[in-house]
């Protein structure tokens, strides 16, 4: 193991981590600092975003405790295992927690999220691997080190770098949706993911309109490229969309929120032959009802997209590290680890000013 004393502080035997203990309980505890083996990295976590998938696992107790969640992880290499030649202590890095094998049935068809290796989490802070970014140090396993770690330029903040993984998931969905120049794209929901959809869809030359129930998010959406932004509680969105499209409806609807009835709203706003992307419908308990005629007679395509693509890793990294997307608009809160419960509650029940919430494990107050 190689350690650079001048660039990385001494590695403690124990560290603080937010441990999920079941029944929606997350407790900040002292746990052993993870040990690494050959081909692995130990990363000192400087920032980790709170993601909706982590929220669902915590609030609905989807996985057995104990676990340390958090997968939008950026930090500094604290130590490297034998055989690692591409990274050194002191390197600023962002790490993906899922990387596919590239050799299986699903990888051959570029369905990377269905690859058995991809489904194996490759970053841990202890206990069953679950991402681990809500801790002061994480162990990055060898297959992630090989293909899933990117260096962060000095001019990019750790907080912005945490957006590499979620932006990748959004870029994958936009590529799969394939909006064309001049298409009308409706993005439903303008949380951090929906706002990324707005930015990325606008880059394709499409016209973008959006919905959300928080006025401040609608204002940010327009700064991010939305032509129109409506509150579906007070506006007839389907009517507005049809007015903009000579009565047809949206060419593409991207569903970036999960509330009852939203898929039916997406269908109502779409034209015959439209594409409807489901991105937020990740719960096994969620059920979708749709008229068979809306899909069959209307020749609409409804499909899902989930997680990141290794094929888009470089592009998503360059977009986050560059200046073409107003990603700083997304970061609303930076909290120390000890306040993670308040961050989770805020993410579950967003207020007017809350968007992306970043946990900073090295900060105590």
Query: In degrees rounded to 5, what are phi and psi of residue 266?
Result: -60, -45
Give whole-number Cα distances, 69 to 19, 109, 139, 213, 252, in Å.
Answer: 8, 30, 13, 29, 33
Q: Based on the fold, state whether residues 177 and 236 are members of the same structural domain.
A: yes
Which residues sit opposite 301 in a β-bridge? 275
* Six-digit token string for 72: 């939008």
Tell whether 2 is covered by a domain. Answer: no
Tell whether 346 is covered by a domain. Answer: yes
Q: Based on the fold, state whether residues 151 and 178 are members of the same structural domain.
A: no
Provide the strand spans (E) within the chain: 14-22, 25-32, 41-49, 72-80, 92-95, 123-124, 137-140, 149-151, 184-188, 207-211, 228-230, 250-255, 270-278, 301-304, 331-336, 356-360
Q: Are strands 228-230 and 207-211 parallel, antiparallel or unpaired?
A: parallel
Which residues sit opposite 335 in a β-bridge? 359
Tell whether 289 is covered by a domain. Answer: yes
Residue 122: CATH number of its domain: 3.90.180.10
Q: Based on the fold, state whether residues 291 and 333 are members of the same structural domain.
A: no
Residue 211: CATH number of its domain: 3.40.50.720
* Six-digit token string for 39: 């081909």
Tell whether 316 is covered by a domain. Answer: no
Tell whether 1 is covered by a domain. Answer: no
pLDDT of residue 246: 98
Divide the 365 residues of the chain into consecutive groups of 10 and give the mean pLDDT of each group.
Answer: 54 98 97 98 98 92 96 98 98 98 98 98 98 98 98 98 98 98 98 98 98 98 98 98 98 96 97 98 87 96 97 98 96 97 95 96 89
pLDDT of residue 5: 40
Q: Based on the fold, state whether residues 176 and 107 are members of the same structural domain.
A: no
Q: Which residues contact 240 (CB under 8 A, 6 or more apart)?
A: 209, 228, 230
Which residues sit opposite 27 in a β-bridge? 19
Q: Based on the fold, state whether residues 89 and 217 are members of the same structural domain.
A: no
- Looking at the 3D structure of the chain, how many domains does it have? 2
* Six-digit token string for 84: 């690692």
Q: Based on the fold, state whether residues 44 and 93 are members of the same structural domain.
A: yes
Q: Based on the fold, state whether residues 209 and 79 are members of the same structural domain.
A: no
Q: Based on the fold, state whether residues 46 and 133 are members of the same structural domain.
A: yes
Tell whether 163 is covered by a domain. Answer: no
- Smallest CA-to-CA distance from 285 within 312, 262, 258, 263 is with 258
Contact 123, 95 (CB under 8 A): yes
Tell whether 49 is covered by a domain. Answer: yes
Q: Based on the fold, state whether residues 173 and 146 are members of the same structural domain.
A: no
SS3 107: helix
Q: Based on the fold, state whether residues 199 and 290 are members of the same structural domain.
A: yes
How far apart are alpha carbons 184 and 205 in whole angstroms?
10
Question: 164-177 and 313-321 are packed helices; what angle lies between their axes, rounded to 10 degrees?
Answer: 120
Q: Based on the fold, state whether residues 282 and 354 are members of the same structural domain.
A: no
Q: Based on the fold, state whether residues 114 and 220 are members of the same structural domain.
A: no
Give whole-number Cα distances, 337 to 75, 156, 328, in Å.
Answer: 14, 22, 21
Tell whether 6 is covered by a domain. Answer: no
Which DSSP category does 343 fall into?
H
* Six-digit token string for 56: 């669902």
Residue 331: which domain range?
14-156+322-360
């Amino acid at each position: 193991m190689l350690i650079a004393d001048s660039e990385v502080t001494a590695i403690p035997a124990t560290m603080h981590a937010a441990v999920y203990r079941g029944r929606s309980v997350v407790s900040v505890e002292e746990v052993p600092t993870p040990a690494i083996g050959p081909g692995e990295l130990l990363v000192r976590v400087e920032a980790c975003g709170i993601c909706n998938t982590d929220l669902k696992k915590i609030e609905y107790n989807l996985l057995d405790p104990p676990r340390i969640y958090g997968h939008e992880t950026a930090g500094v290499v604290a130590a490297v295992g034998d055989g690692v030649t591409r990274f050194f202590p002191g390197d600023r890095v962002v790490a993906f927690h899922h990387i596919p094998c590239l050799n299986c049935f699903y990888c051959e068809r570029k369905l990377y999220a269905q690859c058995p290796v991809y489904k194996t989490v490759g970053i841990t802070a202890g206990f069953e691997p679950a991402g681990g970014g809500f801790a002061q140090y994480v162990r990055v396993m060898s297959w992630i080190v090989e293909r899933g770690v990117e260096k962060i330029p000095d001019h990019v903040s750790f907080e912005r770098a945490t957006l590499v993984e979620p932006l990748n998931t959004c870029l994958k969905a936009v590529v799969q949706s394939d909006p064309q120049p001049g298409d009308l794209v409706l993005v439903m929901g303008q949380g951090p993911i929906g706002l990324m959809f707005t930015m990325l869809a606008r880059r394709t030359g499409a016209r973008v309109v959006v919905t959300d129930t928080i006025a401040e998010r609608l204002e940010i959406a327009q700064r991010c490229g939305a032509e129109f932004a409506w509150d579906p509680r007070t506006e007839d969105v389907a009517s507005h969309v049809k007015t903009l499209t000579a009565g047809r409806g949206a060419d593409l609807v991207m569903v970036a929120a999960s509330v009852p009835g939203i898929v039916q709203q997406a269908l109502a706003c779409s034209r015959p032959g439209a594409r409807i992307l489901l991105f937020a419908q990740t719960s096994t308990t969620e059920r979708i009802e749709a008229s068979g005629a809306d899909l069959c007679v209307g020749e609409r395509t409804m499909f899902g997209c989930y997680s990141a693509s290794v094929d888009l890793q470089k592009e998503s990294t360059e977009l986050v590290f560059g200046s073409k997307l107003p990603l700083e608009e997304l970061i609303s809160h930076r909290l120390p680890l000890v306040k993670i419960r308040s961050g989770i509650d805020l993410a579950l029940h967003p207020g007017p000013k809350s968007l992306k919430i970043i946990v900073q494990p090295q900060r105590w107050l």
